[in-house]
Amino acid sequence: MKSAFIGYISAIIIIITFLIVGNIQINSNVTNETMQTLDNALYSTELELYANQSTITNETEYEKSFVSLFENQMNGNGIDYTISIYGINYEKGLLDVGVSATYQNLLKQDRTIEDRQTMVLDNKE
């Protein structure tokens, strides 16, 4: 009876350990994917603006370019994200954006990760 009790407790501890490690891994993956995608989309948008390509000629196209690049690069399954534009200035090359990513962990609890970044071109001509 004593060994059955120890086996039962050991199994519970192993299951709890797997849940904890799994939740940490999911959180880490979503955080890294969101931050990396935001970095890449910001960089690509600013590079496109710096290169003076004709697709960006005003704030609306500037915003559309960023959102399009972000959506193309974000490939998380089961992740709902919201993009917030806090500041945008085409003439100065300013783009201040935030992303809020919502996902479910292994216990089916909703979790949210937020990231905000600002990028400004040094010399926009």
Query: Taking the alpha carbons of 73, 78, 83, 84 in that order, is the dihedral positive or negative?
Result: negative
pLDDT at 92: 82
Q: Return the percentage of the chain with pLDDT > 90, whole number.
A: 33
What does pTM read for this prediction? 0.79
CB neighbours of 103 closer than 8 A, spacing ≥ 6?
A: 26, 30, 76, 78, 79, 80, 110, 111, 113
- What does the pLDDT look like over 24-70, one tens digit per residue? 998 898 899 899 999 999 988 888 877 766 677 788 888 888 898 89
Is 105 a residue whose pLDDT tops 70?
A: yes
**pLDDT band at residue 9 under the 50/70/90 scheme:** very high
